[in-house]
Structures are given as structure tokens and as C-alpha cells.
Structure 1
Amino acid sequence: MPEHGLDWLSRAELMSYEEMLRVSSLLVKMGIQKIRITGGEPFVRKDIMQLLTALSKLDGLDELSITTNGVLTAPFIPELKKIGVRSVNLSLDTLDSGRFFSITRRDEFDMVMNTLHQLLKQDIEVKINAVVMAGQNTQDIIPMVELTKELPVSVRFIEEMPFNGDSHVYTGLPWDHLRILEEIRDGFPGIQKLIDPAHSTSYNYHVPGHKGDVGIIAAYSRTFCGTCNRIRITPQGTLKNCLYDDGVLNIRDVMRKGITNEELEKVLTNAFNHRPQDGYEAERSRIEKTGVHESMATIGG
């Protein structure tokens, strides 16, 4: 979380649940098989379970999952289990409560850990997303891997994507995916490479004898761009073919002009057919137009 916090948006600027459900229903009919509702914390929005329940009933949707910071999630876990949510990504950058407060600006470490254990209690698959940040939490890499010894979780270390809402040009990353793996191998020399699933954004590993696994996501190095099949729609309705672009279409505005579903499908198909070759091309286009990186805290990771 940026030190200065974020500018919160009015409700009118956000997509309504009805708009989210409409575009989700259309995308599933177009062939999308997985939907993830992301945070921060999705449950900060009132009645989010109504949307999740409606999404879970879409014919043709194979998987509904969420990404959460775990602060408000715990009371809803039984309901998530009931509607068929089988996988949750939990953002957790450190196992130290002091560093947690420094990174998140919130004193809510115990609540997040409670969410982790409640998810496991309900046999929901948990992936822990830990962004590796130089000078902030690199000392947590080994303890986070140690979590996988007794807990059936996948701990995924993510290269920092240096989006801080400024125009600073970054020319390198002290802790890239190779250095992260080197650090892990120093602590766990026997770690073994796993076969990565199709379209995986992570390189996956397993320490023999551990219940869980380890993943490394080269978010800054962008080594997975050739196989990435993700699209993202922000709360304001901005369609992003890549996290590094500045948006290619505002679905909220298009829908509010009274477009039909048939027309909307053509608009979406056209946008998907103009994906950048990779994250570097998307970033170049973004900087040329705006010169500013949006904060990752507003994009949602």
C-alpha cells in the first residue's frame, strides 16, 4: 500500500453487480471457463456473496475463485465452500507482524492468518501470493517455504512489479525470479522442479517431504508472456489485455450507452484480437501515452 494511501472512488464510477454479471455471462458464452474476483479484499464491497453466487450458477463456467488479502474473508468461507469455490489466492508478503504492518499500513496480520487456517479447515485450495521486495521482506523467503512443510499450500513468490503511480523508469530488479530460486535452493538444496500446467504464469517446485509446493512468478521479467491467456476488467470497467497496458476499452461506458450483447461481443472480440505481443510492448505503449505507472494497489496485482 502506498504511504499516502489511495483515492477512493464513488459508487457511480464502479461497475454495478448487474454490469459485472452481464459481461461475465457474455464472456462465458464466448468461451471463458474461469473467473477470478480479485482484491485487495473483495469482501469490502457490500453483498459481494450475491454476485459470487450468481456467477457460480453460470452455465459453462468451470471454475470460480477469488484473490483476497484475507482481512474480511473468514466469516464468508463456509458460504464460499457451499457455492463451489475450490481455490483462493491469499496475499501475504511476510510472516512477521511488524513487517506486515509496514507493508500493508494495517495491523491485521492475525486476521489474515485466521483466514488462512479457516480456508484449509474447509479443504479449500490455498495459494499464498508473496511479492518479493528488496529491503522489505526478502528475509521471509525461507520461512515462507517452510510453511509448505506442514501445510498443503502453494507459496508463490512474485517478482515485484514496480508500479508506484509515478513516472520513474526501472532498469532492473534486484530480486528477480533467478535470484529468488537461488535463495530457496540455498535453504532447500533438494528442491525439485515440477511440470508447469498449460498457461501457467509460475515456475513450480516441490521440496521432498513437504505437503505443499512452491511457485515463482516472473512478473517483472515477463518470461510467461507467450502463454498468458488472462484478461482483466477493473472495478471501473477498464479492460486490460495485459497488466502492463493502460486499458484498451471501458466496458462500463460501452454498456451504459445501451449496447446490445451481440454488439458487445463484437467489441470484446476486437479488443482481444489486438493483444500486445508481450508485456514489454504493452509497457512501451502505456509509457508513450501517459508516462506514468498506475499503482499496483489500484490494479489488484
Structure 2
Amino acid sequence: MLKDNHQRTINYVRLAVTDRCNLRCTYCMPENMQFLERSSLLSYEEIVRLMQVLTDAGINKIRITGGEPFLRKDLMLLLEQLAPMAGISITTNGVLTAPFIPALKALGIHQINLSLDTLQADRFFRITRRDQFSAVQQTLETLLAHEMDIKINMVVMDGMNTDELIDFTELTRSHAVSVRFIEEMPFNGQGNRFSGINWNYLRILDTIRSQYTLEKITDAPNSTSMNYRIPEHKGSIGVIPAYSRTFCGTCNRIRITPTGGLKTCLYGDDVLNVKSLFREGSTDIELLEHLQAALQHRAKDGFEAAASNTHAQLESMSVIGG
């Protein structure tokens, strides 16, 4: 098993397969984003090899992220190779996802995190700078029709969508979905538009409690969200203190960026590049040794990692990997 220097077991990897996205959400990336060349990315062969090394070392959960993962050509062929290795889940913006849902279900991939920050078409355009609300709506309807395990991730932005907290909560009344409200983070790759922490997880919860009775659900080990049910609702809600970072002490995850960078914390620098190791001829055993060594210098939490981050401006979330 992989363990860090704080004796936390690592069994979860977030794998970004691309930095490209077909939306331009204001909190995530600049409009003039410069995307990577294909040769800069981990190849599918390298990804499969890396995931085999990691799953052999105890990783049992792989989340596919981006950018928007369905922009990577032949993604389904990669998923076919990864599905037997570990539990696979996918985070997507839903623009391209609907046609793939039956095939995902056939592979045993049931958990989909749908990034959706508004239920209003005009506001969707203002947030994403793209007119794709109907496509995302179709994906949500298709996911529901196929009875997938759906988590809707809403980034709560001051002055933008806070008036929709109740509307999103209402989705759980008749649908067995988990709606998760996420504190906004400053990973927009441009150093502006971050509204700060005016809407932290406590304020989000207080707003929802003003309209509903919340019953605490026992959170899964290593959960990043605090979860609640509402009497007579089919679904549940959760809040993710992504900026407050209250969950860091039990963190069980690492991140692999599209270029093969290893991040042991969302708020920290890359600590290793597996693509370089592969292309320099490292064996699987040598790769594992490098991974284990990197974990022995892991920050205890996101605040410590941020303090040592050498970037003057935090990166775009699409580069970090969701």
C-alpha cells in the first residue's frame, strides 16, 4: 500500500486525460487558454502502464477528469483497459457525454460527477461563455434514465448563482441524485474573478437549512463532502469545503496531470513527472520507488502546500486535473 509521511493510505487517483475543454467557465480558465500539444500529454499506453503500477500498489479508485475528458479522442478505448483494474468514475461537464452513457454502463462505470453551476440557460452562458446548456440538460436526463449514480457538482459563486441553492436542492426531492455545493477556489489560471470565501460551507448550509430540515448522513471514510438527507427527498445534498480545506487530514488521493505531473495536494506544485520517467526508460519498480519517495514529503494539508507553491498565480483547474 502507498502511504505518505503522515501515515495516510493512498488508494485514490484523479487522472486528468486532457487539459482541453469545450467550456470556458470563469472560475476555471481564461478565454485565451493555451492548450498543450498532444505530444506533451501522457499517451494512452503510458496511462495504462501507470495505472497498472498504481493499482498493484493498492490504488482501487480512479477518477477520470480533464479538462473535459470526452474531448480526448478514443477515450472509451482507454476506459475499456482501465475498467478491470479499479473502480472508475468520471467527472464531466456533460456537453459531449450523453451518447456514451449506455457504453459506460456496459463497462460497469456507473458513477458520474456532472459539473453544473446553474439551472438557467442564460446564466449558463454567462458562467461558461458557451451556449451548451441544452446539451448538458440532455446528458442529465440520459443519466437519470439509465439510473446512473449521479453527483451534481455546483460551484457556489458570490453574486452569480447563490440564489439557486434552493433550486438545486429541490432536484433531490424527486431524483435519487447527490447535489454537492462546492466552495469556490482561486484556480482560474488568471488571478482574478475569484469571489473569495464570502460563501463558505457554513453559509451554504445555513441557507439550505432556512428552507429544509437537514439530517446528517455518516460520511464515508476520506470523504471530501459533508452529506445530508432531507426527509421525503429521494436524493441527498453535500457541501465540499474546497477552500476551507477541513478534510485535508484524511486525504487519500493523489492527482496526475495531463502531462504526467504528480500532485500530492491540489494546492501544491508538481512533485514528480511520470511521463519523463517513462520516456527516460525507468522500470515499473523504479517508478514505484519514485512515487513512494515523493509521498514522504507530502504537506500535511492544503494550507501548508499552498504556502510552498512556487507559482505566483495559481493554475487553471483544467491543467491541475479537477
Do structure 1's residue 229 and structure 2's residue 248 form an aligned pair?
no
Partner of 2:280: 257
Closer, same or farther: CA 222–11 of 1 in aligned 2, 3 Å: same
Per-residue CA distance 1:52-90 (angstroms, 9 max, x = gap): 0000122xx2x1111000011111111100111020100
| AA aligned opposite 1:296 | M
Partner of 1:298: 319
Per-residue CA distance 1:118-158 (angstroms, 9 max, x = gap): 11211210000100011111111110000000111000000
Per-residue CA distance 1:222-272 (angstroms, 9 max, x = gap): 000001111110111111111101211111111110100010010011112
The root-mean-square deviation of aligned C-alpha atoms, in Å, is 1.6
Q: How many residues align?
A: 295
- Cα distance in structure 2, aligned partners of 1:206 and 1:52: 32
- Cα distance in structure 2, aligned partners of 1:126 and 1:171: 28
Do structure 1's residue 53 and structure 2's residue 87 form an aligned pair?
no
Alignment check: 8 A CA contact 1:233 1:239 kept: yes
TM-score (norm 2): 0.88
| AA aligned opposite 2:282 | I
Residue 298 of structure 1: CA displacement?
A: 2.9
Per-residue CA distance 1:146-181 (angstroms, 9 max, x = gap): 00001110000000011232457x895100000000
- Cα distance in structure 1, aligned partners of 2:262 and 2:182: 23
| AA aligned opposite 2:53 | L
Do structure 1's residue 12 and structure 2's residue 54 form an aligned pair?
no
Per-residue CA distance 1:199-220 (angstroms, 9 max, x = gap): 0000001111000000000000
Q: Secondary structure at the match of 1:263?
A: helix
Greater RCO, 1 or 2 (C-alpha within 8 Å, sep 6+) = 2
- Cα distance in structure 2, aligned partners of 1:214 and 1:5: 34
Partner of 1:138: 162
Q: Secondary structure at the match of 2:180?
A: strand
| AA aligned opposite 2:110 | R
- Cα distance in structure 2, aligned partners of 1:212 and 1:36: 22
Alignment check: 8 A CA contact 1:203 1:217 kept: yes
Q: Which runs of 4+ in 1 moved over 3 A?
A: none
Partner of 1:179: 203
- Cα distance in structure 1, aligned partners of 2:134 and 2:225: 28
- Equivalent residue in structure 1 for 2:99, among 69, 75, 85: 75
Question: Equivalent pairs: percent with the same residue?
Answer: 54
Alignment check: 8 A CA contact 1:161 1:296 kept: no
Higher fraction of helix: 1
- Cα distance in structure 2, aligned partners of 1:137 and 1:162: 17
